[in-house]
A = this chain, B = another copy of it.
Amino acid sequence: MRMAEGVEWAMHSCVNLSWLDGHGPVPAARLAGLYDLPAPYLNKQLQALVRAGVLTSVSGPRGGFRLARAPEEISLLDVVVAVEGPEEAFRCTQILRNGPGGDASVDYRQHCAVSQSMRRAELAWRQELAGRTIADVGHDVVSHTPAAAERVRAALAP
């Protein structure tokens, strides 16, 4: 089980954007330049965030991406789901249907005890992510490295 690397990039990009306080959109190429990331691929991730309603995009010169809402209103789960998709990691294939006593009319995704336990664990994971926002992460960084926000603002300035 492996999470897409784009999640990490999307997280940091959102945190960096949160430090700009809506000061104009930032092109994907400049966000990518911060960490020497491949710009076209980061662009792809940012597009996913736009589709999910986390970012808004502006075309043309002076265009780019900005947060669609306040960083306090963007949870880490929003970012993960935007990049990874809404499906769960554990996907019950209902093999019990083929077993002894299996019933084709039963939805084992709901009734199989294994599936239920795995689902509960993933729910705990999602709740932890949902309870933490981009703003929280940004504040943590600043409290540990106060100069970070200013450095990012300077690097992202035109």
Measuring CB to CB, which residues of chain A are less than 8 angstroms from any residue of chain B? 1-5, 7-9, 11-12, 15, 34-37, 76, 84, 87, 89-93, 95-96, 98-101, 111, 113-114, 116-118, 120-122, 124-129, 132, 136-137, 140-141, 144-145, 147-148, 151-152, 154-155
- Across the two chains, which residue of chain B brings its CB closest to A89? B3
Q: How far is the CA of A129 from the CA of B158 in the complex (A)?
A: 48
Apart from A8-B93, A121-B125, what are 6 other A-B pairs with CB-CB below 8 Å? A3-B89, A8-B95, A11-B118, A120-B132, A125-B125, A125-B128
**Cβ–Cβ contact A90 & B7, under 8 A:** yes
Q: How far is the CA of A92 from the CA of B9 in the complex (A)?
A: 10
Question: A101-B145, A111-B144, A148-B101 in contact; A12/B95 too (CB < 8 A)?
Answer: yes
Q: Which residues of B contact A9 (CB under 8 A)?
A: 95
Contact of A151 among B7, B8, B101 (CB under 8 A): B101
**Cβ–Cβ contact B1 & A98, under 8 A:** no
**Cβ–Cβ contact B89 & A151, under 8 A:** no
Q: How far is the CA of A125 from the CA of B127 in the complex (A)?
A: 10
Instruction: With both chains docked as a complex, state the minimum distance between the C-beta of A69 and any C-beta of chain B, in angstroms.
Output: 19
Instruction: With both chains docked as a complex, state the minimum distance between the C-beta of A24 and any C-beta of chain B, in angstroms.
Output: 19
Question: A1-B84, A3-B1, A101-B148 in contact; A11/B114 too (CB < 8 A)?
Answer: yes
| Sampled A-B contacts (29; CB under 8 Å) | A1-B1, A1-B2, A1-B3, A2-B91, A3-B90, A7-B90, A8-B93, A9-B95, A12-B95, A34-B99, A35-B95, A35-B98, A35-B99, A36-B98, A37-B95, A76-B118, A76-B121, A99-B152, A99-B155, A100-B152, A101-B148, A101-B151, A114-B137, A116-B140, A117-B129, A117-B136, A120-B132, A121-B125, A124-B124
